[in-house]
Amino acid sequence: MKNKLKLTCFVLFLICSFQLKAQQREWSGQVWDEKLNEPLIGVSVTVQGSSAGTITDFDGKFRIRAEVNQTLNFSYVGYTPQSIQLRSSTDLSRVLMREDTKVLDEVIVVGYGVQKKVSSVGSISAAKGEELLKTGNVTSVSEALQGMMPGVVSIMNDAKPGADEADIIIRAKGSWRSSQPLVLVDGIERDMNDIDANEIESLSVLKDASATAVYGVKGANGVILVTTKRGVNQKPKISFSANFGFKEPLTRPEYADYVTSMNMWNEAATNDLQYSKLIPESKINAWQNAFATGNVGPYNPYFPNIDWWDEMVNDMGYQQQYNINISGGTDFMRYFSSIGYLNDGDIFKTQKNELFDPTFKYQRYNWRSNFDFQLTKSTVLSLNLSGRQGYRSQTGYRINDNNESDTSFGQPQFFRMLYTAPRNMFPITWEDGSYGLTPSAESSQNLRILFDKGQRLYKYYQNFIDATLNQDLSFITKGLKFNGKFGYNVATRSRDDFMRYDNGGPFGEKNFIGYSREYDYSQPLPDGGYVMVKQERWVDSEFQGEKPKANYDLILDGGFDKRLYYELAFNYDRSFGNHNVTALALMSRNEIEGLAGSSATNLKFKENDEAWVTRVTYNWKERYLMEFNGAYTGSQKFARGLRYQFFPSYSLGWRISEEPFIKEIAGESLDNLKIRYSSGIVGYDKSAEAYTYIQLYKNAGGNVSFGETEKTNYGPLYSEDKAANPNATWETAYKQNLGIDLMLFNKLTATVDMYSERREGILMTVATPAWFGIKEPDGNVGETKSRGIEMEVGWNENINKDWSYWVKVNFAINENRVIYRNDAADYPDYRKYAGKPIGVINKLQVTDYYQSLDDIFNYATANNSSTQSKLIPGDFMYLDYDADGTIDNVLDKIPVLYNNYPQNTYGTTFGFRYKSFQVNAMLYGVVNVYKDVDALMLWDLSEGNDYNYFANPDVTGRWTADNAANAVKPSLHSDFGGYSMTSGTSYSFQNASYLRLKNLELAYDLDKKLINRVGMKNVQIYANANNLFTITSFNRQLDPEGNSSALYPLVRRYNIGTRITF
Amino acid sequence: MKQYKYIIILLISLISFSSCEEYLDKSPDLGLSEEEVFSNFFTVRGYLDQCYNCVLDYTFWRANGLERAHMGQMSDEGANPYSNNMAKFTNKGQWLANKQAPDVGWGEEFVASPRGNVIPNAFYALRVANKVVQKAPLMSNLTEAQRTQLLGQAHFFRAWFYFEIIRRVGGMPLLDKAFSSDDDFDVERLTYHQSTDWIIDQLDLAISLLPDAWPSQEVGRPNKSAAYALKSMAELYAASPLMCNPIDKIENNGYDVERAKKAAQYAKECLEYIDVTAPKHKMMPGNQYKNIFYHFPNYYSDESLWYLNSVGKNRNSTPDLPIHWQNIHWSKRAGNYGQANVSVSQNLVNKFETINGYKAEPDCYRMGE
């Protein structure tokens, strides 16, 4: 048998050699990189079955002798090998080789390590640093993540420069307490938003129990891992990028014209029988005439007409961003160093003056140096030094607290003024230059004053130092490594205040001198003016202005903290034949100190935590995969004995594509097909209040007095605080995930993940009987469940050397329910939390308009007597859900179908390359989201009682007897405050679903030959835009994502820039 | 062999790094611990004395949600243009459905203060008394006199506040301990009689512990005669037909004669005790009757066996006027004080006779007739 085989071979060989001999000739050709479209140097070219071979020269060219029908093999490190069978007509002038982007060798960052993507069994989404850079130069990493990965929801709430980070929810809300994920930068808990995206190598989002269990008591809401760039052993590579951007607000207020508004006010006052509030016809006529003749304007003393948005908002704001970094290395040291600068400017027409600069802006300096020292052959010491200094400046307005978050009192009131400031009450300045004011003489209504009261300058400093020692312990046993890590973060936050006038508290009322004047429009004067009937000066007649004032370097509340982190770990990674085993044993600790959150002077209690982590993975031929993760983590918030828990997870995977029989059927076309399942337990302790296990007493002060004739006090009194719960602990999530990864033809990739989660032990106030006696304790009683599907499908194709395109579509669907939230037993079902989504919203349901007085008297009454007495035909009729004859603000509010946070999201990234020209775009959408529209845009004339008449453009569509069938909004009222039930109704709750062109980028690579001459490797010029257009049915005056008039308006950005590599 | 040495050294260094629990033992010194409060007589007394703030003080204008009205307003005896919540609840028939309703409201807004509602205050005080009953016997650094003093008051307050509750809402579960948050709250409700029996037990204990009289600076704390009197009162209530019901139904089967007899017996014991030990307490003679509450600064007389000491609590302040059936607008204060003008109704007027002894009918109002 053996001999036979040998013989056959021999014969075949003879035949072949005969043929070869017969037709051997010289072939020449050139090898090209398919994607970069440039020649490849040093590709090895061999003739199959012979020893003949060569490598390509400097221009990618080669010459080789071979016969027709022989096969040429091309191979190059990092590229997919290529084989070409020679025919007599074969043209070798363009042999294309493609970079091996096949996932096979790709690694992803997982908790405390990296894994090969093919053999990983967790549900992990990853993005590369380059992808983050292509998101329209947004200023925070959290915003850049929007739409990029399925199951990662990022919501923008504000666009104030330097305070515009987005909220991130991973997969879904699992609890009503907090959905904040854990964020780690280079393995240490840090804020990721202020990292320069140029420093980021990759970003992983860990979603299922398999991936997050290693974070134990911190991981239940998902984990984001940011990894920064490191140097490689090569010649220095310098990258420079510069970006210049413009930005403009996405939405703006709209109004009906003033004459219409006044007429509508008269209708509203008539509706309410408030005849004393009517505006005289003489005034309306005078205004009508003024508009007709164009005798109006922002500085017109008699007919002021100010469009505050135009006055205060610039057409364009500016933004600049620069980064230069260098990376490279030698045998001894590898380095990556980066310096970045960001200047995010203002969309308001604020101007620097002699005392201060009230511009909203953010200047940020980022620095980073990552070094790796190869101390010995088996020892690497890594050192990361990085940080940022940020200067956030803004107009000084009244902010009550000293917190870093200044979004509480002050800010909403300030920005909402852009919508509500009087437009026709006073000119911006009178002819003599003094300011125009409202009759009640409050200066705060003139936005020109408001934007010039002072400045606040916030200063942020963060410094991060990490050192890591990697020691190969192969001398003990092969595959064993030791790793020790030390990290130290320091952050300080302080602010300066600059005030124009030192009086009336921080940015108080006494500042500018101005006048309010009132004219009688029925008494025109010959000079075109009118008789002035009233004038008031503010501040009082003696006031001549005050000295300016400034405070420097006030520490913000909680404005200092430091964190010490260290970890020790053993890694083991070894293959025994077809058995591949890895193992990890790790111990880590965090020690956090700093100012208490509500104080600029008091330190908080030191917070410690500790984790003991292990992971074991095993696979056979990368075909059958198994992984076990476990973390024994502790939280100091709870009682002894309840501080530690072991959080295990296991996962199994099966790469069907590796089965021989599948390979046989599918052949080359199936690159990867993997099914994976994981199940495990993760915790979350951040939303738990600390130390509730200790029963505290307090000195309640006070006393009781006794004594018949002489009073004697006995005190102080002592009282017991809120009841302790010695059993309090963190919330626990039980997660399961079933995923399928598919790759076909090396072009189509698809990932589907289905998951379900049960969250138990959510810490909340426990209902206790009345006779318990003290304030009820917190207990781990809350329970929720959620489930969902995430899907991502990508297609990547190179049509020919000039054309290639890619599409990636992702979508995520999630639903959740509260199982238990301490509902009162006797509540009717519709009022219980249980069985409804987390954060359920209850609204009064608008059923119709009252069409007649009969309707008003026959229908259920409003439980608020002042509302009932004001009802007129054309007002909303609300559903009396409990049918008790009263429309009640509590009992008749019923749950609505949708939530105000996105649960269904979809994103599409697509683009193409044609030669050196490249286009990239991203669409992002959310569906089934409803949000409240500001009452201002729904209920017209809300400020009319302050003589500030303005209505929305659709005011003429209000209900009237004649217009009853086509009414778009209810009939008008003059007393908005007295007419209650204007909030919390289905009228204001509108569909805030949207589809947005999140990002569009056009890039062009300059001709390599040209730039190589001046020493550059790569020059790319690009233009991009962010939030270019939005399709939504939400109110036009508001953005569906920010949905508030009381914030720094969300912006659209246009950028041009360049990326240069030397 | 050499390799094992390395492994052992590394493992030991890792494990000996620390013991976990201690590393996280950062229990902060946030406030007082229970041990500190129950460490000496004065802090325990400060804790127990909270009970006095929970006793319903009829003479305090804000007690019981009274505010600027008076009790008569809750019936047909008076009316007040000042629309305070109290009159609204009662006159609308929502008395039992509102948490801030006077007397029976379960709202805890001002709990542990004289402004608190009666029932939440009573639950609060019961917890305090129960804690003292539980802890005081175990304290090592109390003198016997101090321990007796604390326990006597604690047992008295147990009875007092439990009685305050059951006479409003009927029998309650036995609340003889301070519940902790992981206790089983599913406890059985007792009948009014069972509840009363516990009160009698507590008062017997109180009688054995309380002093005959307090030193003059401490007058106002309950003494033996108060416990005797409360015993009789509690038993008398229990004899009422309503209180004779089991917990699941209400029917009128007449008075419980046995309990009434017992109440009489307890009253006799009380009077006998007073005669012997505290002759100062006595029924006031008829000619002093009109001055029975006319004392300053305290509204009490020799008839009072126990009273809430109001010294220094400004019971003569203008807002307290309604307590004395005076119109608060006589305070000459502005705003709500000015408009809170209580007018008695004819119903109340009809309950009295005129100065001449006639029935109060319209033509009798002429003065001097």
CB contact residues (below 8 A), chain A span 107-166, against chain B: none
The HSE-up count of residue B138 (CA atoms within 13 Å, CB side) is 8
Question: CA nearest A591: which of A724, A488, A481?
Answer: A488
The answer to whether B218 contacts A707, with C-beta atoms less than 8 Å apart, is yes
Res. A60 pLDDT band, cuts 50 70 90: confident
pLDDT on residue A563: 92
The answer to whether B124 contacts A774, with C-beta atoms less than 8 Å apart, is yes
**Residue ranges of the alpha helices (H) in chain B?**
2-15, 20-23, 34-37, 41-48, 50-54, 85-91, 118-135, 144-169, 192-209, 224-238, 257-277, 336-339, 346-349
A774 CB neighbours in chain B (<8 A) are 124, 127
Q: Which residues pair with A583 in a beta bridge?
A: A572, A616
pLDDT on residue B278: 80
The answer to whether B313 contacts A635, with C-beta atoms less than 8 Å apart, is no
Q: Where are the beta strands (DSSP E) in A842-955?
A: 842-843, 846-849, 861-862, 876-878, 886-887, 894-895, 904-914, 917-927, 930-932
Res. A516 pLDDT band, cuts 50 70 90: confident
Which of A568, A697, A699 lies nearest to residue B14, judging by beta carbons?
A568
Is the domain spanning A24-100 CATH 3.60.10.10? The answer is: no
CB contact residues (below 8 A), chain B span 101-140, against chain A: 106, 112, 119-120, 123-124, 126-128, 131
| Domain limits, chain A | 24-100
Burial of residue A767 (CB within 10 Å: 0-12, 13-18, 19+) is middle
Check whether A181 has a pLDDT greater than 50. yes
Exposure string for A93-121, b = 16+ CB within 10 A, e = fewer: eebbbeebeebeeeebbbbbbebbbbbbb
pLDDT on residue A406: 63
Most A CBs within 10 Å: which of B24, B25, B218, as the mutation test of the A interface?
B24
Residue tagged 């420097």 (tokens): A552
Mean of pLDDT values over A81-110? 77
pLDDT on residue B369: 40
pLDDT on residue A837: 92
CB contact residues (below 8 A), chain A span 752-771, against chain B: 766, 768-771
Contact A197, A185 (CB under 8 A): no
Check whether B191 has a pLDDT greater than 70. yes
Residue A634 touches chain B, beta carbons under 8 Å: yes
Tokens of A833: 């939390």
Which of B46, B173, B219 lies nearest to residue A717, judging by beta carbons?
B46
Give the span between the Cα atoms of A23 and A276, in whole angstroms.
Answer: 110
User: CB under 8 Å to B167, separation ≥6 — which residues?
Assistant: B237
Residue A635 touches chain B, beta carbons under 8 Å: yes
pLDDT on residue A225: 92
Most B CBs within 10 Å: which of A697, A775, A822, as the mutation test of the B interface?
A697
Residue A695 touches chain B, beta carbons under 8 Å: yes
* Diameter of chain A measured on Cα atoms: 135
Check whether A718 has a pLDDT greater than 50. yes
Most B CBs within 10 Å: which of A593, A706, A730, as the mutation test of the B interface?
A706
- Between B363 and A147, residue with greater pLDDT: A147
Most A CBs within 10 Å: which of B5, B13, B109, B181, as the mutation test of the A interface?
B181
Q: Which uninterrupted H or E stretch holds A759?
A: strand A748-765
Res. B367 pLDDT band, cuts 50 70 90: very low
Contact A929, A898 (CB under 8 A): yes
A706 CB neighbours in chain B (<8 A) are 214, 217-221, 309, 311
Res. A63 pLDDT band, cuts 50 70 90: confident
Angle between helices B41-48 and B118-135 (to 10 degrees): 160
Check whether B314 has a pLDDT greater than 70. no
**What rounded mean pLDDT belongs to chain B?**
82
User: CB under 8 Å to B148, separation ≥6 — which residues?
Assistant: B209
Tokens of A745: 């033809």
Res. A137 pLDDT band, cuts 50 70 90: confident
pLDDT on residue B8: 56
Residues A766-807: tens digit of each pLDDT: 888 888 888 888 888 899 999 999 999 999 888 887 888 999
Mean of pLDDT values over B238-266? 93
Most B CBs within 10 Å: which of A632, A720, A866, as the mutation test of the B interface?
A720
Domains (ranges, CATH) in chain B?
35-66+102-307 (1.25.40.390)
pLDDT on residue A812: 92
Check whether B9 has a pLDDT greater than 70. no
Residue B36 touches chain A, beta carbons under 8 Å: yes
pLDDT on residue A20: 44
Give the span between the Cα atoms of A157 and A171, in whole angstroms.
Answer: 19
Which of A641, A697, A709 lies nearest to residue B32, judging by beta carbons?
A697
- Between A72 and B153, residue with greater pLDDT: B153
Report the range out of A159-168, A694-703, B155-164 with the highest average pLDDT: B155-164
The nearest alpha carbon in chain B to A478 belongs to B3
Q: Which residues pair with A518 in a beta bridge?
A: A534
Res. A586 pLDDT band, cuts 50 70 90: very high
Burial of residue A543 (CB within 10 Å: 0-12, 13-18, 19+) is middle
Check whether A18 has a pLDDT greater than 70. no
Could you say which DSSP state residue A601 is in?
Answer: S
Contact A308, A421 (CB under 8 A): yes
The nearest alpha carbon in chain B to A768 belongs to B185
pLDDT on residue B195: 95
The nearest alpha carbon in chain B to A632 belongs to B20
Sign of dihedral through CA atoms B22, B27, B29, B32?
negative
pLDDT on residue A626: 92
User: CB under 8 Å to A356, separation ≥6 — which residues?
Assistant: A396, A454, A455, A498, A500, A550
- Distance in Å, alpha carbon of B17 to nearest chain A alpha carbon: 10
Exposure string for B30-52, b = 16+ CB within 10 A, e = fewer: eebebeebbeebebbbbbbbbbb
The answer to whether B30 contacts A714, with C-beta atoms less than 8 Å apart, is no
pLDDT on residue A866: 67
Residue tagged 């604020």 (tokens): A350
Question: CA nearest A708: which of B28, B186, B233, B301?
Answer: B301
Q: What angle do CA A1028, A1031, A1035 make, to 5 degrees?
A: 110
Give the span between the Cα atoms of A974 and A269, in whole angstroms.
Answer: 5
Q: Where are the beta strands (DSSP E) in A345-479?
A: 361-376, 379-395, 435-436, 454-472
pLDDT on residue B292: 72
Residues A674-703: tens digit of each pLDDT: 999 999 999 998 888 888 888 888 888 888
Q: Which uninterrupted H or E stretch holds A261?
A: helix A258-271
The answer to whether A636 contacts B26, with C-beta atoms less than 8 Å apart, is yes
Give the three-state DSSP class for A204.
strand
Residue tagged 């070094």 (tokens): A371
Among A198-212, A493-507, B3-17, B76-90, the range scoring the smallest mean pLDDT is: B3-17
**What rounded mean pLDDT belongs to chain A?**
86
Give the span between the Cα atoms of B349 and A220, in whole angstroms.
Answer: 71
Among A387-401, A480-494, A728-742, B122-136, the range scoring the smallest mean pLDDT is: A387-401
* ipTM for this model: 0.87
Residue A779 touches chain B, beta carbons under 8 Å: yes
pLDDT on residue A15: 43
Question: CA nearest A1039: which of A211, A239, A629, A1047?
Answer: A1047
